[in-house]
Structure 1
């Protein structure tokens, strides 16, 4: 493995061959020699969190929606939160941001922000390194606000803009370049 990418963002290259990940931004939650686990951050759904997990709905602000976290186990729900006490996290990913324990109900941890994801993205050993070598992904340092943006569907553009230079220009390329 070239490097551990836990806590980093993977920004899909415009040339990524897999339509499942076109224009996605993935937070790498865990990356080690056994593979990698990530959550797609920029695909909100219309499903309200309260309709899916009413027991922990108090962790979420307003009419929070579930996001499509990736193609693996879409029936599972992962919750990411910014914990007031980081010791409450099942796994810390970035500062006070981490994964909510699956056994939280009826006790809900104190959090400042939370987001729910249906499914996740997964990579077998060395698979992510191979995809990075093929330039399928750009690695960008994650910021806690990336995980909780109200306009999460624009995160792909914002992450490329943040990289600057030629990457910022990529952010303006239309999904279908033939309409340019």
Structure 2
């Protein structure tokens, strides 16, 4: 498991904070794991809370609910135009980076290809996520920049599973409640 990978909630995960979610891992180390939920857009326009960044964010131009931790704070995930080290960016994987929202837009803007801002984040302490994976709560799969910045996240969960090899792709067709089938 590493930064840039996705956690896809299995049907066994019933926690309402994470049911049917796709989480992008941003930081993975011995201390724990930090990520953001990719498929929970809010109705709050970025311009209402972070006006300087409203012209830079990907469609839809709203905040996304990144997770249940520190929901009053914001994390910005950027797709940079180049791999060069730039002020205000902390690399995640390839051209994906975390952007410090205190960086002046004029400095960061020219290097931004896409930007998504998340209210809050998902976090796990050391060993906690490994235990959840072992109990069958998460699938761990490769992620792409398209997963992070797609305009309509309604079918992200199914689409990510559908492109996986082998039996994992079959889970994309599974009904939310198999007993109703």
TM-score by length of 2: 0.90
Structure 2: state its 5+ residue gaps.
none
Please give the secondary structure, in 2, of the residue aligned with 1:47: strand
Change (3 A) 1:127 1:63: closer
- Tell which deviates more after alignment, 60-69 or 76-85: 60-69
- Given that residues 27 and 33 in structure 2 are in contact (C-alpha distance below 8 angstroms), is that contact kept between their aligned partners in structure 1? yes
- Given that residues 56 and 105 in structure 1 are in contact (C-alpha distance below 8 angstroms), is that contact kept between their aligned partners in structure 2? no
Change (3 A) 1:54 1:131: same
Please give the secondary structure, in 2, of the residue aligned with 1:59: coil
Q: Deviations for 1:142-175, whole angstroms, at most 9, x for unmatched residues?
A: 1111100112121110111011433222112222
CA distance in 1, matches of 2:100, 2:21: 25
RMSD of equivalent CA atoms: 1.7
Q: Deviations for 1:20-71, whole angstroms, at most 9, x for unmatched residues?
A: 1111100010011101100000111111111110022221246511111000
The corresponding residue for 2:117 is 116
Structure 1: state its 5+ residue gaps.
none
CA distance in 2, matches of 1:62, 1:7: 21
- Given that residues 94 and 144 in structure 1 are in contact (C-alpha distance below 8 angstroms), is that contact kept between their aligned partners in structure 2? no
CA distance in 2, matches of 1:147, 1:64: 13
